[in-house]
Structure 1
C-alpha cells in the first residue's frame, strides 16, 4: 500500500467514526425526548430505580447540548423545540462531513 492510500483509509475510518457517533447521539436524543413525554404523562413509573437511572443518564447526556439552544430560542409557550433544532444541526453536520469535508481530504 502506498502512503497516500493508507492516509485515505485512515481518513475514511475517522469520518465513519464521527458519523457513527453523531448517529448514536441522534438516537439518544430521540430516546430522551420520548422518555420525557412518557415521564410527563405518567406513563412510566418514576419511582422505579431503573427508570430513574435511564432518565438521569438521558438527561445528563443531552442537557449540556440542549441548554444553550434553549437559551437562544424564544418562549413558545411550553413547547420545547430544542431537540428538533439539534437534530437539524446534526443532520447538517453529517451532510457537511460526507459531501464537503471528506472529498477535500480524500
Structure 2
C-alpha cells in the first residue's frame, strides 16, 4: 500500500509542476517576454493548454465572469494543494 501512496504523490507532483510551468509561461507571454511565433514556445504552450484546459473549463463553469481575469488556474492550484494535504494527513492508511 505504501507504493500506492508514493504513486499518488508522484502524480500530484507532476501535475503541480505542469501547472506551475503553465502559470509562469502565461505571465511571460502576457508580459511579452516570450513570443508565440517562436515554434518551441508555441508547441510547449499549446501542449500545456491541451493538458490543463479540460480541468480549467470545468472550474470556469462554476466561477463568475470576472472580465479579463481568469481565476481557474488559481482555483485548480488550491484544489491540488488541498488534495496533497489530505493525502499527507491520511498517509497512515497507506502503511
- TM-score bucket (shorter structure): 0.7 to 0.9
- Structure-1 residue corresponding to 2:71: 81
Gaps in structure 2 of 5+ consecutive residues: none
- Structure-2 residue corresponding to 1:69: 59
Using a 3 Å threshold, how does the CA distance of structure 1 residues 19 and 39 change in structure 2: closer, same or farther?
A: same
Query: How many pairs does the alignment contain?
Result: 95
Distance (whole Å) between structure 1 residues aligned to residue 41 and residue 11 of structure 2 = 24
- Structure-2 residue corresponding to 1:103: 92
- Structure-2 residue corresponding to 1:27: 17
2:1 aligned with 1:14: no
Distance (whole Å) between structure 1 residues aligned to residue 28 and residue 40 of structure 2 = 15
Gaps in structure 1 of 5+ consecutive residues: 1-10
Q: Judge which range, 31-40 or 17-26, deviates more.
A: 31-40
RMSD over aligned Cα, in angstroms?
A: 1.4
Give the SS at the match of 1:44: coil
Where in structure 1 do 4 or more consecutive aligned residues deviate above 6 Å? Answer: none
- TM score, norm. by length of structure 1: 0.80
